[in-house]
Structure 1
Amino acid sequence: MKEFTVVHCRPTYSQHHIHPYVRSKRKYLPFKDCIGAIDRTHVSAWVTRLDAAMYFGRKYCHTQNIMATCDFDLCFIIVSLGREGSMHDSCIFNEIVINDNVPFPHPKEGKCYLVDAGYPNRIGYLAPFKGNHYHHQQFCNTKENRTANNPRKLFNKVYLSLHSVVERRFGNSKNRWGFIRDVPRYDFANVQVQLVDVSMALHNSIYQNTGNPTTVNPYFNEEEAMAFVNVIPEVEHDKDGLMVGDKDPHMALVGLRIRDKLVYMRNNDYLGNI
């Protein structure tokens, strides 16, 4: 099973190019250097009494906490499984992404993954603005909030739309493999974790070999996309980008520049009703 997951959980598109999905909508173009998204989910788990407390998490049941990376072809490319359900997301992120002893394939220089609001900004990992709307329901609860009425909300709304690739992939995988919602009582480390791992690889294999339903016709080719974004004038940045928990002011500045480009695009009627 391990060999199967190695073959089928890998990047599907070169990091040297802007992904067609990013080029499919104007609002995504400021995120041209993003290559995928990272998020986490919980899967039910049966564990021994000795481990019961560690795997009892906020879902009020025993779960394994999973962190996964998806590319914009909606395929899992990196998966870390078997973590305790009570373990905080940032701890998993630190153990996997920041630990030099773990062979995590970091983005190439100048590229980045989109990460959930629970993670900090770091080189190669771009988080949304904290303290502002981030979830879909927050933008839809009232008529006033349906439009992102300040620059940070605008950034978060477009960010959320692009980051949702990994959330959709988790949902599709759980719907396809019913046992994930109620994992059989097999040995946890040797069977349960491996079953979830191979289910994600199988999902990729099926997805890649039966026609990719997310195939898009890019609105821009690569040269047009670069020209469109680069022609947007740079503005003088304020110093409100560094957020609580951030470790890297460089990535905070990346977020500010994307925010500024989105504001320029909205002010010039390139974004429609966002």
Structure 2
Amino acid sequence: MRTLRNPTACYNMFRMHPHVFEMLHEQLVTKYGLQSTKRMSSREALGLFLYMVEPPQPIRQAENRFERSMETVSRKFNHVLTCVTNLAKDIIASKDPTFSFVHPKLANHKSAPSFNNAIGALDGTHVKVLVPFSKVGQYINRKSDKTQNVLAICDFDRRFTFVAFGIPGSAHDWTVLQEAIRKYGPNFPHPSPGKFYLVDAGYPNRPGYLAPYRGVKYHQWAWRYGPRSSDRQEVFNKAHSSLRSVIEQSFGILKMKWRMLLEIPSYSERKQAQIILACCGLHNFILENDDDDVDFNVAAAFGVSMVDEDEDAENTREADEVEDDVNMNAVRDEIANVCFFWLKGVVEKTVNYAICDMCCGRNKFVSLLVFVWGLYV
């Protein structure tokens, strides 16, 4: 395929660089049964599949682009989808299932070691769905769209470690989590005692699920404007949000890279579920094998994420109806105190150094700026 010889064209068409395409192809062939036929090579079949899931390309467009019959396009798409789905089942998992190591992002965070027991971030997103008329009612979400909930857990490298799908879009966050726990039973990755996932205010503060303080400024974009954090709850929420934002970034990258998830074509419910799982698997594969992927690097630099303020507010109302756990509230308060006193100590040191420099006549202008900054924080 000529496209693979042009890195820019390859990335624009398949959302991955040529060497990643070749690595993916090799793994699908050797481990997951991707095969060539007389009519189409395995490389072309993989390219066709990626072309169709990057933007939601109808079979007719793929037929024209690859000069193949609609029957061949459909059959090859299904074949590659099965292979990629099987790959996804293997790589959507934690790299450290016993959580024996503290992730560097936690260890190096300015609030360390406050969140060292966090093992990932959990949240949900909506994916549009096509269902039989008899089921439409339960899939209508707050925006009157037909969607299914996708609940995911990711680690602090933005890798998906668990994905649950197929839960009707009318359900809110806490209900979706309870349904996922019921549906997946022993396969649901419950946190071990003392560990927890970071969740947003749409979930109650329960053992294993550390939520922020509700009714207090939270999301990262909210901290870019206006006063800085001033009390324990705000300091905690800011630190919590900075770490939990990995799941919002993961969803943002997933839907930006594989735009079929924004509008899945008219496939069966089973195939729609396979597409979601396959895209999450591709997300992990690229993240693990390409440090220079443009979409991931842009998301890291500019904070690309999927946050719906109105949906957050509605989910928060549902969480308000579920009682928080007293012991988990105590854990949150303890972490908030550590974060607050850490920040207070940094500010006091900054101010003291600035006063000392000004008294000694060193860098008076710079010291004055540092002094004012310390008071402002």
Shorter-normalised TM range: 0.7 to 0.9
SS in 1 for 2:158: coil
* Identity rate, percent: 33
SS in 2 for 1:31: coil
Amino acid at match of 1:174: K
Does the alignment pair 1:201 with 2:281?
yes
Separation in 1, partners of 2:163, 2:145: 22
Does the alignment pair 1:263 with 2:340?
yes
Residue by residue, what CA displacement relative to the aligned partner does 1:199-244 show, whole Å, maximum 9, x if unpaired? 10111011111238789xxxxxxxxxxxxxxxxxxxxxxxxxxx86
Amino acid at match of 1:178: R
How many residues are matched?
243
The residue number in structure 2 matching 1:10 is: 93
Q: How many Å apart are 1:19 and its aligned residue? A: 0.4
Cα RMSD after superposing both structures: 2.4
Separation in 1, partners of 2:221, 2:166: 30
TM-score relative to the length of structure 2: 0.60
| Contact 1:22–1:31 (CA under 8 A) maintained in structure 2 | yes
Separation in 2, partners of 1:36, 1:212: 23
More helix by share: 2
Q: How many Å apart are 1:264 and its aligned residue? A: 0.8
CA change 1:7–1:48 in 2 (3 A) is: same
Deviates more, 1:245-254 or 1:124-133: 245-254
The residue number in structure 2 matching 1:84 is: 168
Separation in 1, partners of 2:324, 2:154: 23
SS in 2 for 1:41: strand
- Name structure 1 gaps, 5 residues minimum: 216-242
Structure with greater Cα Rg: 2
Does the alignment pair 1:252 with 2:347?
no
| Contact 1:28–1:158 (CA under 8 A) maintained in structure 2 | no
The residue number in structure 2 matching 1:43 is: 127
Equivalence map 1:153-192=2 (5 Å): 153-188=234-269, 190-192=270-272
| Contact 1:37–1:71 (CA under 8 A) maintained in structure 2 | yes
| Contact 1:12–1:71 (CA under 8 A) maintained in structure 2 | no
Separation in 2, partners of 1:122, 1:212: 38
Separation in 2, partners of 1:257, 1:267: 15
The residue number in structure 2 matching 1:70 is: 154
